[in-house]
Amino acid sequence: MKYLIVGLGNIGDEYTDTRHNIGFIAANALAFSFKTAFVTGRYASVARMSLKGRTIVTIKPSTYMNLSGKAVRYWMQKEDISKEQVLIIVDDLALPLGTLRLRAKGSDGGHNGLISIIETIGTNEFARLRIGIGNDFAKGYQVDYVLSRWTSEEEKILIPKMEATVELIKSFVLIGVERTMNFFNKR
């Protein structure tokens, strides 16, 4: 069985380690836990790993956030992966910093990456892991906030959450979205 894990973010040095790139950070943590590296592929950087007989294809789209659906559709088709085996990792302003919230399906919540994916693959019925980035910004400064880098205090909270994120992803692959939601969303 194959799984597609998609960490959303934007490519380029100006976006590295920004709040909006939490999906890339989570994808990097997953690859690091398997001692594997990303290679350049079509529409994305790609890392492959194996977990108890299951293949995990992890991508970091190179299409920028607003066109993430193009990369997701391509890799779903290339690897013949169904929507039930897809997990999208995104940042979420509505959740407190470091909160992990897994859902089996749902709306785009105004997230440009999710909007692109839903429009491109034609469904909102795919798992998504929302990682809280907080909302400590003045009215009208949302874009500046999500595109700014983490503070050292935030990094202290974030680092252990990346370990939990890796465990959540492994759980999704091994026991499915529903059981993983029951376990991790209650933490």
- 20 catalytic? Reply is yes
CA angle at residue 56 from 61 to 87, to 5 degrees? 60
Cα(61)–Cα(46) distance, rounded to whole angstroms?
9
- 53 dihedral zone (left: phi>0; alpha: psi -120 to 50; beta): left
Which residues contact residue 132 at a Cβ distance below 8 angstroms, ignoring those fewer than 6 apart? 92, 94, 95, 96, 97, 98, 99, 100, 101
133 — phi, psi (to 5°)?
Answer: -115, 5
- Of 3, 19, 20, 28, the active-site residue reads 20
Catalytic residues: 20
